[in-house]
Amino acid sequence: MSRPPYADELNLCLCHSCGLACDMTGEPHECERCGAPLHRRKTNALTRTWAYMIAALVFYIPANLLPVMNTEMVGNGSDSTIMSGVLEFWEAGAWDIALIIFIASIAVPGVKFVAITLLLVTVHRDSEWARMERSKLYRFVEVIGYWSMLDVIVVALVASLVKFQALADIEPRPGILFFGLVVVFTMLSAMSFDPRMIWDKERENPQNEEVTDEVTSH
């Protein structure tokens, strides 16, 4: 069986803004539907993805070591890091908030770092391993990326709730700024990666398709 044609063989390019398959005859620079810039490939995808991810890793260290908020009750104040905040909420019986903070602040960034590194390394090595699964992994990283902001939102909500108590006060600390930077740079890293690079090796070496066609014909 012959494979279906690729988009660039039909001179088509998908708009990353509205999803329209645009005709690239004459090399238009903008999508005819929404006006967004058109590009057949993301510019310097590997370099930008590595740069954003390394920046996120650098900010991830102070985000976990520095306090993210200061809670003061009856004149006694204490700083809390992300992990100590999780433990405090858990010991106070607020296991649901503790679980949300742990998933959003510890688990999600960790999963994104591992997943993006795996994608980058396999693309650099022109790996043919599990292309379909790696494509799904990239889409998964895009989906969970936005949930990392939950931690910043939780701190803001907790601060607003505590403010209602006359004897309590809460203030953000530098750690929350670094964590916000981690979220931004991991999102930029995922957005900079071009998943089409996963399939480039297969297109450059069509021998697998020829073998498949021969087996099918026999």
Q: Three-class SS of residue 29?
A: coil
Q: Which residue numbers in the chain have pLDDT < 70?
A: 1-3, 8, 70-77, 145-171, 201-218
**Best CA proximity match to 170, nearest among 183, 159, 156:** 159
Question: In whole angstroms, what is the distance from residue 9 CA to residue 31 CA?
Answer: 19
Residue 211 has what pLDDT? 42
Residue 193 has what pLDDT? 87
| DSSP characters over 132-189 | HHHHHHHHHHHHHHGGGGHHHHHHHHHHHHHHTSTTEEEEE-HHHHHHHHHHHHHHHH
User: Do residues 32 and 99 both lie within one domain?
Assistant: no
Residue 80 has what pLDDT? 74
User: Do residues 5 and 56 both lie within one domain?
Assistant: no
User: Do residues 133 and 195 both lie within one domain?
Assistant: yes
**Best CA proximity match to 104, nearest among 26, 176, 21:** 176
User: Do residues 66 and 165 both lie within one domain?
Assistant: yes
Residue 151 has what pLDDT? 58
Residue 132 has what pLDDT? 87
Where in the sequence is the domain holding 104, given as residue range(s)?
A: 42-217
Burial 75-94 (b: 16+ CB within 10 A, else e): eeeeebbbeebbeebbeeee
User: Do residues 34 and 133 both lie within one domain?
Assistant: no
pTM here is 0.73
| DSSP characters over 98-133 | HHHHHIIIIIHHHHHHHHHHHHHHHHHTT--TTHHH
Which one-letter DSSP state was computed for residue 41?
Answer: S
Residue 213 has what pLDDT? 44
User: Do residues 55 and 113 both lie within one domain?
Assistant: yes
**Best CA proximity match to 86, nearest among 70, 78, 97, 76:** 97
Residues 6+ apart with CB under 8 A from 29: 37, 38
User: Do residues 101 and 77 both lie within one domain?
Assistant: yes
User: Do residues 29 and 110 both lie within one domain?
Assistant: no
pLDDT tens, residue by residue, 172-200? 778 878 888 888 898 888 888 888 788 77
User: Do residues 94 and 168 both lie within one domain?
Assistant: yes
Question: In whole angstroms, what is the distance from residue 150 CA to residue 107 CA?
Answer: 12
CATH code, domain with 169: 1.20.140
Number of folded domains in the chain? 2
User: Do residues 83 and 182 both lie within one domain?
Assistant: yes
